[in-house]
Structure 1
């Protein structure tokens, strides 16, 4: 059995998470931060902890090794969306540089924990480059897609290429639209979730034509998220194995399309931990090793 860090859909073996209790900390903390971080409304602390417990329980029930990012006074409640601060590769972790000022300390918090766990570091993105993990998706073991967004700039992408291309990895850049502007959380993985080697959930109205054609050329069947399920994160789907997925509850059309494509889907209640902060199951996890 082989293992890789270069996949979004193979059997998930290990993952880092930032449990709600470690990110939200308290009702007071949530109340102080949610508005400046552009949340839809203030998450309910107790309900959020209950939602996260069930989310984490699902990972554990599928024999995923779960490691936790601890409480860190230098980061804010957005740190629950731990995919964004680092990128996993077969050659070590890439530590990001956040495009959202309020999240600037999160990469350093990841770096400290990886060092404690003796996880190798491939490189660190530095200013003026910005790069966020939500803009990164593996299309196959040798191809990495990166979104050029308000959170990930060309300098950050250039630094990423300098780190990974000498290792034999091709980097494909998807030029994403303005959409709602700089203050909105809009990543590549807002419109793309690979769930098997030839199946991906997409929101085509915001997808660049060139990038969408690249997916089709690679043999991907595209599950199209309807307009009414985009804002409720119908496109944010985490594969824990090929065609075995977890998504936010409240996206019945997308869920049905996945099931018709042969996927096993578990939907979790994510009003407090996902909907209000704009981060679905891919955002809540920093996947590491996958097996095949």
Structure 2
């Protein structure tokens, strides 16, 4: 049960990086693969444990998806769909590296008795492109992963639940929306202005959002890929000096475990987590 992207987080789904490898479906990942970067599973496991300890420290319940061989991107639990107040909308992955990940996610949700309200079959829809502005407004990015066909199908599924979608187009090089836009607290967002369409920026200003701006040259470091924990708390990462500084300047409490192994593949706190229960406030 999730009402928005900023209320107090109560329960989250994670997956250990047992079989994690960098998948070549983003500019960040491609660059690091070209440079010969190899994942250290030992370091990745240690970093993921520190990541999980933040949730434990705050009393947030963790449910675990069991990592399976042959599923190198399964650690990014975000991307199989998006949760709502009534259940999960299952998306549709765009690239072959995620083949079978949807079925594993559905199996986990069924074991946890989490309701599923529908599934996108036509086109693509991935959770990394989805952010709630409020209980009835869901922004979905159209970049490298989600498609307009997937969004149209999602609109039909979500219409009975009174959730309006704001499709937001951006260049494919940015990959997912959560690389260039993030909700960090009520009416507070971090974003890269040059990466987002003018009409979306205008909408945020009209709705009186506090906007933290990040330059384009800092985006690929994962600066904006954050998870709001509620109660003025944000989950970031140790390497995020610029983002953390800006968050703290607003009086937000920042938790920052090291995530270098995942950043090399283009993943940050938002990618590595899927909300199961999040309060309205």
Fold match (TM-score > 0.5): yes
Per-residue Cα deviation, 1:150-201 (whole angstroms, up to 9, x for no partner): 31111110110001122111111101123x3xxxx61111111111121111
In the TM superposition, what are the counterparts of 1:207-286 in structure 2 within 5 Å? Answer: 207-272=196-261, 274-286=262-274
Moved more, 245-254 or 86-95: 245-254
**What SS does structure 2 have at the residue aligned with 1:268?**
coil
Identify the residue that residue 88 of structure 1 maps to in structure 2. 83
Where does residue 64 of structure 2 map in the other structure?
Answer: 68
Is the contact made by 1:233 and 1:248 (CA closer than 8 Å) also made in structure 2?
no
Q: Structure 2 unaligned segments of length 5 or more: list them.
A: none
Q: 8 Å contact 2:93–2:124 — kept in the other structure?
A: yes
Contact 2:23 2:97 in 1 (8 A): no
Where does structure 1 lack aligned partners over 5 or more consecutive residues?
25-29
Paired residues for 1:1-292 under 5 Å: 4-21=1-18, 23-24=19-20, 30=21, 34=22, 36=24, 39=29, 40=32, 41-73=37-69, 75-126=70-121, 128-178=122-172, 180=173, 186-272=175-261, 274-291=262-279, 292=281
CA offsets, 1:82-136, max 9 Å, x none?
A: 100121111211111101221131111110111112111100111x311000011
What is the RMSD of the two structures over their aligned residues, measured on CA atoms?
Answer: 1.6
User: Offset of 1:251 from its aligned partner?
Assistant: 2.5
Alpha-carbon shift at residue 37 of structure 1 (Å):
5.7
TM-score by length of 2: 0.92
Return closer, same or farther for 1:125/1:35 CA change in 2, 3 Å cut-off: closer
Q: Which is worse superposed, 37-46 or 258-267?
A: 37-46
* CA distance in structure 2 between the aligned counterparts of 1:270 and 1:162, rounded to whole angstroms: 37
Give 3-state SS (helix, strand or coil) of 2:256's partner: strand
Structure 1 length as normaliser, TM-score? 0.88
- Number of residue pairs aligned between Structure 1 and Structure 2: 272
SS of equivalent to 1:13? strand
SS in 1 for 2:222: coil
